[in-house]
Every structure is written in structure tokens, then in C-alpha cells.
Amino acid sequence: MTPFSLLLLPGDGIGPEIVEVAQLVIENIASISGRDIVIDREIAGGASIDQFGHPLRPVVLEKARQSDAVLIGAMGGPQWDFLPTDRRAAIALLTLRKELGLFANIRPVRAFPALLDASSLRPEIVRNVDMVIVRELVGGIYFGEPRGIEELVGGGKRGFNTETYSSDEVSRIGETAFELAKLRSGRVHSVDKANVLEASVVWRDAITNLHLAKFSDVDLDHMFVDNAAMQLVRDPKQFDVIVTGNIFGDILSDCAAMLSGSIGILPSASIGAKPSKGRRQGLYEPVHGTAPDIAGQGLANPIGTILSAAMMFEMSCDMPEEARLIEHAVEAALESGARTKDIANSGEFISTREMGEEIVRQIHVIASI
């Protein structure tokens, strides 16, 4: 097989620590499988601003375009928030998603049996939770125009953003959600705010029409976003696949993270249209942020990044068995009692690196069986 090209963008805060551990896992999987994985490293986000004055240099964007996959740690931090909007660290991530055509963000949420006591909800509420949030990624209020800040006559300012969706944009993300549901339990909840927002009226109509035309074998329910937020903590097991817009998906996926016990263990994949042939390019990253308050202390949980690498092996690398191997190794590490501080419940915990090494150890144990 031709080599698989991977671009690593460690990012800021805890990003370099967790990407280093994920790279260790990736290299061990490559060694076990015999797959040739060519790894390149670059900087983007705040680190790139400090060194080059811009969050995403053209050379890095071009490397991303030429790679089969991009694995990111996390980007941003308060020290760059004062910059103009188009120069902030987060622009690097938004630009990568937009320029690579990665319109669908896939965020699995699973409650590991070993971590039921880590959730802020009762174990009987979160036990067996297994859902996927499919978030539209390149439209909505984050990209809508007009946007800006204007000075008001007499003093003060007015900020404005535009929530906008076309039926084609909605149908595209809807296809992704329905196809995924057909591989799972066959249930989709489409989340919007159609009782208030015209953009959501278009969203609901497009999802309904797509369902009738192509996916009537999948169960579809519509839900307002405020109700969905409540239902996530009241009865999360009712959900299989949730499909929603950019801002709603951003908020709901962080809310859902606590079902698993920590945002630090949740992965994500940003993907585009499936090509007729060749590999499906993707951008893979943990759901959490840069956590600058613990950066460099070995306290970060690398599991979200490691599971993002597992998604990469399945979705871009066509190595589903290796993806399952990583997932089983993570579960085995948790069952053995390995805990980083965020999931230790005030008990003993191990470092970022030690968690990665334990997962690698479990990979080799499972691979040898």
C-alpha cells in the first residue's frame, strides 16, 4: 500500500503534550500493522502567531491539503484573544475546516463502564450511553455575513453576526447523519430552533425532505435545541445520532461530554464528502480546549486525542481493525485503574505520558492474543 501521510499540528497549551502521546500510539500501531505512515509536524494557532505573526501560514495550509489526514492538539488561549478576529488563534482551525471542505464534524459520546462514577450524573442515567453528534461545520453563524462590530452614535458598540443556512448545506450534513445512523441503531434526532429562527425553518424542511426522499427507513425526530440540552441530561440513552448546526453542535457536544465523565476523553473527526475513489481526508482533534492553566504539568488527559487517532485510522486510513485495537486498549487501560487527574475522583492519578504508555502496553497485550 502507498504510504499514509499525516500532518501533526500540536497547537497550544496542553496540545503539544497530548499530541506527543498520540504520536507514540500511532507509531506503535504502524509498527504492529506494518503500515508505512509518514509523519510531518508544523505549528499553527497561537504558537504560529508568536513565531510568524499569523495563525496559519500558507505553507502549512498547503501541507494540510497534501496530507491524507491532519491531527490537531488544541489551539488558542487568552493571550491571543485581544487580537483582531481574523488574526486570532482559532482562525487557524476554522480556516483548515473551510479550505479543506470538511463540513461534517463527527463527535462520538460514549460512557465507559469503568468511568461511570466520573460522570456528574447518576450511573443509571449514563450507563450504556452511546451516541454520535454530527455537527455542521462550515456554515451557520460562525461564517455568516454580515458580521462585525460597529460604533454607535453617542457612544457604545453593537456586535452582529448572521445565522444562515441553505437547503443544500443542510441536505449535505443530513446525508452524513442518516448514513451513519444506518450503521448504528437507525435513529436520528435533528436539532434546531425552528420556532424562532428562519434559518432553522430551512434546516427542518431540508432534513424532512431528505428523509422522505432517501432515508425513510431511518427513524427521524425533530427537537428544539433548548429541549435537546435538557434531554441530554434527563434521558441521554434516547439518542443515537444527533444532527445539528454549527453553534448548536458546538454547545451540545460540550454538554454531552460530561456524560462520559470528562471532556478530556472525547474525540472528533471533521470530514468532507466521500470521494468516489481514494482516501477520505479528515482533520482529527479532541473536543477539549488548550487548558493553559495545566499546560506543561503532565496533567492533561490524552485519551481524547488518542481516540481521535483511532477515528483517523478508520475513516481516512482504511484500517478499522487498528482503530478497534486502540479503542479496546483505551478501555483496558481504564479497566486497569489508570486515571489522569480529571477522571481520578480525588484518588491517585498518573501523568499524561504514563497514560499513553499504559495504552501502548495494552495495545501490545491485545495484539499478541
**Candidate list 193, 240, 341, 342, residue with the active-site label:** 193
Burial (0-12, 13-18, 19+ Cβ within 10 Å), 47? buried
The three grid cell numbers given for residue 66, joined into one nine-digit string = 497534501
**Candidate list 117, 226, 235, 293, residue with the active-site label:** 226
Distance CA 168, CA 171 (A): 5
Q: In terms of Cα–Cα distance, which of 103, 80, 118, 137 is closest to 290?
A: 80
Q: What is the DSSP letter of 342?
A: G
Handedness of CA 324, 327, 331, 334 (dihedral sign): positive
Helix (H) or strand (E) holding 329: helix 320-335
The three grid cell numbers given for residue 301, joined into one nine-digit string = 488527559
Would you call 226 a catalytic residue per the annotation? Answer: yes
Would you call 142 a catalytic residue per the annotation? Answer: yes
Greatest extent of the chain over all pairs of C-alpha atoms, in Å? 74
Would you call 240 a catalytic residue per the annotation? Answer: no
**Candidate list 68, 142, 240, 341, residue with the active-site label:** 142
Q: Which residues contact 156 (CB under 8 A, 6 or more apart)?
A: none
Q: Report the catalytic residues.
A: 142, 193, 226, 250, 254
